[in-house]
């Protein structure tokens, strides 16, 4: 464990004016509070807060943050209280410690609904003081460095949480070195064989080629010296996880992977950055399409650097990043650079992003999301996506996630532009709206009065802002029509059970279904987002489901003309309650697929064949086939119990095939006839509760042909 004098020395290295008495008092208080507590490794527990504080000294953070690190577990794990911490160390530290405690208690890898709510709390805590998340990230980094002491299942859970949440969050905050280490530590737990394989390949490569990094670094330094450019050059092999991700994305083996080495050139000025770039491009051949200038177009987290990839010795590609010292500080520590100290005073780094403005821009779009799924979609797009930079015809820059389309570009400019979009030109050429825009392209949006968003745009747009605006516009366009249809459906359904759809009854349904008012209830009913059965059940929960008439198969799908017939796709077996789309086939009518069906990829370039469909908002009979893949114990009576469970859920087994027979288990495909997605959930829940069922999942096969005509 780091001694108090050594920790103070680490802080004094960058902040000679540090309050040594405050640090010493916090150290002694934390040590006393954690006395008698031990980590899984057997070390005194207080060694962990001290290590977290030491990690934060690498980012040259202020005294309040270092003290928070020393005390970050006291309120949660010891008898210390907020009031006591406030009395001894002040309100600023007490609030920071309390914020870290609340973050620790958030279950960020829980169910989607709870996860979305906890992410809202996470961003709320960040908006109050970003130093809270800096301490939490350092806390997670030290826990990942010492993860071997945990149980294997706990290691896997922490590693997944780190890979999915904390590493991307560190990256989004510009803390690239921390992101890379978190990813690699999690990768070591989640896929140790793959990581070990990459490390072995590195050793073999070094034996074959020698010290490539040393040779190229020497060559670069010599070129800069001859050109009169003052610059430091650092080279390194990329992290194993970074290499693994590139191998997966590009679907290539290690031997075919380029730019596994990275070099950083640190200059004294911005002008020298561009001079250094010229020197490198004169000496080595630049790789087309691999140049990015983040100095003239910085990232939103303050990141500035020039990226280029060149062919080095023996044709090997290497990536070069060129930046000034101040840019490098931001590149390594991101928004943490805002608080960094140098020589006893806050370092005024001109490239450090104001955390208040940064977090405000980050949370603005999240606050606009109306439900949990849309909120999580926006969070993941923002945290996990690389950016592309496009230009308006006037030369203004628009930042978009990788994979964005002209629809996303239009909504990024203004919602009004997006809603009125009828086409787009990229670099002066007319392109389909589903085109993926690329770095440096000029995009012109063509608009027309009276144009409204199309439902198919939801499958084209990828940004949360665009998708939210499209959903809102679609609801407004169809609102009156859906309200009228919903009122008629409600009247008919209520009369069928001898009741009246009065305003009072509908108000009760809206309140119980957590819908804001009657109009919204009727609109969702008319648009098939709610079923009449759900509305009836919200008012009269004791009414039997059998009192509603079943919808015949030929009327189950809404959106077809009277002379069109349809068939349900066997590949994805969509169920009522799931989003669907129709693909027209000459001689076959319309084939109905689930919106996420893999078979739809074959029709991406044929938009004229796509049809916007939805299920009828009523009760469907149990005639919709769905295949389940079960792994069950090979024991007497297990298969019989499984069949009984399915029957008890009022689902009929129409086919059963054994896929694999082993001495201790069977794997089989069971085709069951179901009413809707809710019925499927009930059947799967019942099966998952059976102790002899090891696994149950929905089985989909893109190669299967379509069946079940309507």
Structural contact between residues 135 and 96, judged by C-beta atoms closer than 8 angstroms: yes
β partners of residue 629: 669, 697
| CA 119/CA 545 separation, integer angstroms | 38
Long-range contacts of 158-167 (CB under 8 A, 24+ apart): 158/189, 159/185, 159/186, 159/189, 159/190, 160/109, 160/186, 160/190, 161/108, 161/109, 162/186, 163/187, 163/190, 164/109, 165/108, 165/109, 166/136, 166/137, 166/140
Instruction: Please confirm, yes or no, whether 226 is among the known catalytic residues.
Output: no
Closest CA to 651 of 629, 633, 625: 625
Instruction: Please confirm, yes or no, whether 219 is among the known catalytic residues.
Output: no
- Catalytic entry in 20, 25, 43, 77: 77
Query: Three-state SS for 100?
Result: helix
The DSSP H or E segment spanning 527 is none
Taking residue 54's Cβ as centre, other Cβ atoms within 10 Å add up to 18
Structural contact between residues 409 and 390, judged by C-beta atoms closer than 8 angstroms: yes
Query: Three-state SS for 26?
Result: helix
The DSSP H or E segment spanning 40 is none
- Catalytic entry in 43, 58, 76, 547: 76
Helix %, strand %, coil % for the chain, to 5?
Answer: 50, 20, 30
Alpha carbon separation from 385 to 159, 344, 354, 437 (Å, rounded): 20, 37, 22, 14
Query: Three-state SS for 376?
Result: helix
CB within 8 A of 398, min separation 6: which ones?
389, 390, 391, 392, 409, 412, 413, 443
C-alpha torsion sign, points 164, 169, 171, 176: negative
| CA 635/CA 692 separation, integer angstroms | 9
Residue 619 tokens read as 């009760």
| CA 263/CA 135 separation, integer angstroms | 29
| CA 400/CA 378 separation, integer angstroms | 13
Residue 673 tokens read as 């006839």
Q: What count of Cα atoms within 13 Å lies in the side-chain half-sphere of residue 160? A: 9
Residue 99 tokens read as 């914020």
For residue 256, what is the DSSP state? G
C-alpha torsion sign, points 645, 649, 650, 655: negative
Q: What are phi and psi of 319, to 5 degrees?
A: -95, 135
Exposed, middle or buried: residue 384 (CB in 10 Å: 0-12, 13-18, 19+)? Answer: middle
| CA 341/CA 334 separation, integer angstroms | 14
Active site residues: 76-77
């Amino acid at each position: 464990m780091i001694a108090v004098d050594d920790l103070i020395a680490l802080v004094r290295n960058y902040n000679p004016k540090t309050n040594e008495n405050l640090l010493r008092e916090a150290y002694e208080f934390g040590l006393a509070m954690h006395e008698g507590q031990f980590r899984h490794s057997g070390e005194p527990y207080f060694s962990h807060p001290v290590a977290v504080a030491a990690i934060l000294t690498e980012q040259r953070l202020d005294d309040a943050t270092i003290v928070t690190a020393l005390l970050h577990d006291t309120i949660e794990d010891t008898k210390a209280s907020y009031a006591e911490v406030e009395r001894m160390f002040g309100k600023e530290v007490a609030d920071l410690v309390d914020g870290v405690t609340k973050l620790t208690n958030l279950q960020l890898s829980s169910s989607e609904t709870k996860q979305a709510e906890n992410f809202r709390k996470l961003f709320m805590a960040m908006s109050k003081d970003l130093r809270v998340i800096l301490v939490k990230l350092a806390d997670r980094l030290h826990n990942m460095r010492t993860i071997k002491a945990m149980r294997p299942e706990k290691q896997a859970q922490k590693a997944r949480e780190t890979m999915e949440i904390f590493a991307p969050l560190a990256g989004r905050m510009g803390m690239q070195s921390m992101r890379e280490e978190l990813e690699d530590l999690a990768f070591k737990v989640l896929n140790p064989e793959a990581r070990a394989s990459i490390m072995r390949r590195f050793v073999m490569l070094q034996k074959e080629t020698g010290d490539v990094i040393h040779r190229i670094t020497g060559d670069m330094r010599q070129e800069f010296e001859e050109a009169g450019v003052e610059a430091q050059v650092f080279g390194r092999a990329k992290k194993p996880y970074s290499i693994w991700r590139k191998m997966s994305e590009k679907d290539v083996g290690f031997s075919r992977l380029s730019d596994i080495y990275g070099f950083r050139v640190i200059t004294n000025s911005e002008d020298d950055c561009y001079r250094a770039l010229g020197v490198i491009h004169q000496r080595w051949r630049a790789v087309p399409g691999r140049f990015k200038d983040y100095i003239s177009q910085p990232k939103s987290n303050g990141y500035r650097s020039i990226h280029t990839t060149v062919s080095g010795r023996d044709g090997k590609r290497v990536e070069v990043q060129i930046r000034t010292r101040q840019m490098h500080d931001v590149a390594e520590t991101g928004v943490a650079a805002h608080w960094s100290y140098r020589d006893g005073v806050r370092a005024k780094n001109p490239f450090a992003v104001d955390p208040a403005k940064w977090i405000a821009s980050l949370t603005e779009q999240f606050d606009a999301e109306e439900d949990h799924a849309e909120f999580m979609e926006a969070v993941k797009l923002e945290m996990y996506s690389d950016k592309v930079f496009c230009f308006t015809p006037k030369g203004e820059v628009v930042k978009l996630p990788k994979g964005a389309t002209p629809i996303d570009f239009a909504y990024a400019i203004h919602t009004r532009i997006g809603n009125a979009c009828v086409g787009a030109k990229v670099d002066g050429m007319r392109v389909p709206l589903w085109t993926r825009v690329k770095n440096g392209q000029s995009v012109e949006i063509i608009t027309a009065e009276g144009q409204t968003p199309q439902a198919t745009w939801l499958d084209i747009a990828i940004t949360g802002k665009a998708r939210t605006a499209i959903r809102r516009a679609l609801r407004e366009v169809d609102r009156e029509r859906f309200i009228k249809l919903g009122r008629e459906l409600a009247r008919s359904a209520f009369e069928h059970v001898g009741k009246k759809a009065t305003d009072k009854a509908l108000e009760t349904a809206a309140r119980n279904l957590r819908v804001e008012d009657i109009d919204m209830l009727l609109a969702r009913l008319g648009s098939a987002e709610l079923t009449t059965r759900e509305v009836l059940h919200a008012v009269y929960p004791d009414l039997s489901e059998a009192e509603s008439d079943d919808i015949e198969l030929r009327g189950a799908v809404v959106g077809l003309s009277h002379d069109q017939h349809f068939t349900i796709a066997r590949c994805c077996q969509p169920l009522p309650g799931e989003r669907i789309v129709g693909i027209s086939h000459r001689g076959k009518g319309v084939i109905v697929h689930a919106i996420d069906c893999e078979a739809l990829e074959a029709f991406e370039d044929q938009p004229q064949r796509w049809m916007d469909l939805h299920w009828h908002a009523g009760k469907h009979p149990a005639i919709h086939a769905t295949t389940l893949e079960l792994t069950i114990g090979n024991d007497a009576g297990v298969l019989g119990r499984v069949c009984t469970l399915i029957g008890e859920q009022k689902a009929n087994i129409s086919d059963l095939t054994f896929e694999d027979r082993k001495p201790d288990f069977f794997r089989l495909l069971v085709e069951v006839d179901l009413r809707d997605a809710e019925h499927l959930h009930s059947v799967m829940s019942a099966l998952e509760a059976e102790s002899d069922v090891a696994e149950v999942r929905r089985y989909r096969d893109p190669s299967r042909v379509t069946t079940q005509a309507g």
